Structure 1
Amino acid sequence: MFKLLLIEDDTTLFNEIEERLTQWSYEVFGIHNFNKVLQEFTEYKPDLVIIDIQLPKFDGFHWCRMIRAHSNVPIIFLSSRDHPTDIVMSMQLGADDFIQKPFHFDVLIAKIQAILRRVYNYNTDKIELKTWCGAAVDYESNIVTLGTNSIELTKNEMFILKKLIDQKNKIVSRDELMNSLWDDKRFVSDNTLTVNVNRLRKKLDEIDLGRFIETKVGQGYIAVEEAEG
């Protein structure tokens, strides 16, 4: 069980996040004395820290700096502040990610899972995560995350994206997609497939990934990903 330290002074929000994270089998700790955040961090020895910027006494930037001076533990900022300088400051201080409030809880879970997997090199059957064009594609929660931005897909949209990514740089015919959707008890007609692909591409445009889903007229679709290097 991973231990998470949630540095949040809003009691209502803390309780809500704690309840949801506990449902995912995380052990969640809070701060009792906001004058002694570093001391309590040292006592808890968490595997990951989630921290707000606006806190009593000292802000989250201060405590991130203090924690980084002693540990490389992954840190996620969770804040209602969305000024670009706040995000830049977070990254410069060594944070691993920045999530703006209000947020979709599935986005938080996806980011936590991705960071824990990367840092601690663990595997889980609960979430299947793929990387495509620099984005984290979470098949379980239907979330695609690129940098600090995330989008949520419908089950059909994610099913189509998964089929394309599994055969990236290769054309997947419309017949293959529709037959797969039929076998998965999500039958769609030819017109519905077109609508779903267009919606998928439009959502991906929000994080500048729509251009990587190409239509091959008379053939099908292709998820393009250039080879690194």
Structure 2
Amino acid sequence: MNYKIMIVEDDKSIAKLLSEYIERYGYETIVVEDFENVLDIFIENEPNLVLLDVNLPKYDGFFWCTKIRQRSMCPIIFISARDSEMSQVMAIESGADDYITKPFYYEVVLAKIKAQLRRVYGEYAVKPADLERISELEGLILYPERSELHYHSKEISLSKKEVELLDMLIKKYPKVATRDALLEKLWDDQNFVDENTLNVNITRVRKRFSKLGIEDAVETVRGLGYRLNITWRNS
């Protein structure tokens, strides 16, 4: 497997040296340069592991670690000049798997990368069949196998179609889930699906959100499809 390592480090010389060293051992690297859209870059590239600095422009590494962890269980290793115990505690609490202080040895970074990749993807990793699949977004948790949607202390039951619809909307966020893609996902033969069937199911999902105290959660993007509107994160 060709593992992808995403490097989020605003010191260009360190990022370049890390990238060059890691690539010597057969890994692919993604070096982030746009520090305002780290999550978007993560979603687009789907790396197998993230190396993350704490001190970054605009938002710090703890912020981005939390955002990534809401979408993925991908291993995250902090690399930072902050060597205080509090910084390391904050890193772990925000979802990190390991913490390396600067200055560091490249051999140590590589060893920790290999250890995390073995843990998550190697022969000792928990197999997908042993895990309960979960889709999460901004505090919203969907359990497809249970047909349940949770938000804080509330939970509701869903139909099979509602589960499939919500699962796709969550995975597509912040992009639009097109009508065609939703129809293909929910029904094997679109030729026998009435045009209003999807609208009815979207209405049902909106009602489910209302039961959780969330209004206007699914927005219609005219001419394209539907997208989640995560205004509930501020509630």
TM-score when normalising by structure 2: 0.51
Q: CA deviation at 1:32?
A: 2.8
Is the Cα contact below 8 Å between 2:10 and 2:33 reproduced in 1?
Answer: no
- Listed one character per residue, the Cα deviations across residues 102-128 of structure 1 (whole Å, up to 9, x for unaligned) are 0111111111111100110159xxxxx
Q: Which runs of 4+ in 1 moved over 6 A?
A: none
Pairing of 1:58-69 with structure 2 (within 5 A): 58-69=59-70
Partner in structure 1 of residue 13 of structure 2: 12
Pairing 1:24–2:59 present: no
Is the Cα contact below 8 Å between 2:39 and 2:67 reproduced in 1?
Answer: yes
Is the Cα contact below 8 Å between 1:8 and 1:14 reproduced in 2?
Answer: yes
Measure the CA separation in 1 of the matches of 2:109 and 2:32.
20
Partner in structure 1 of residue 119 of structure 2: 118
Partner in structure 2 of residue 81 of structure 1: 82
Opposite residue 107 of structure 1, the aligned amino acid is V
Is the Cα contact below 8 Å between 1:116 and 1:122 reproduced in 2?
Answer: no
Measure the CA separation in 1 of the matches of 2:33 and 2:89.
29
Name structure 1 gaps, 5 residues minimum: 124-229
TM-score when normalising by structure 1: 0.53
SS of alignment partner, residue 71 of structure 2: coil
Measure the CA separation in 1 of the matches of 2:122 and 2:5.
17
What is the aligned residue count?
A: 123
Is the Cα contact below 8 Å between 1:37 and 1:63 reproduced in 2?
Answer: yes
SS of alignment partner, residue 51 of structure 2: strand
Measure the CA separation in 2 of the matches of 1:91 and 1:51.
13
- Listed one character per residue, the Cα deviations across residues 108-163 of structure 1 (whole Å, up to 9, x for unaligned) are 1111111100110159xxxxxxxxxxxxxxxxxxxxxxxxxxxxxxxxxxxxxxxx
Q: CA deviation at 1:44?
A: 0.7
Measure the CA separation in 2 of the matches of 1:106 and 1:98.
15
Partner in structure 1 of residue 134 of structure 2: none
Measure the CA separation in 1 of the matches of 2:123 and 2:31.
25
Supply the RMSD in Å over aligned alpha carbons.
1.1
Partner in structure 2 of residue 218 of structure 1: none
Name structure 2 gaps, 5 residues minimum: 125-235
- Identity within the alignment, %: 44
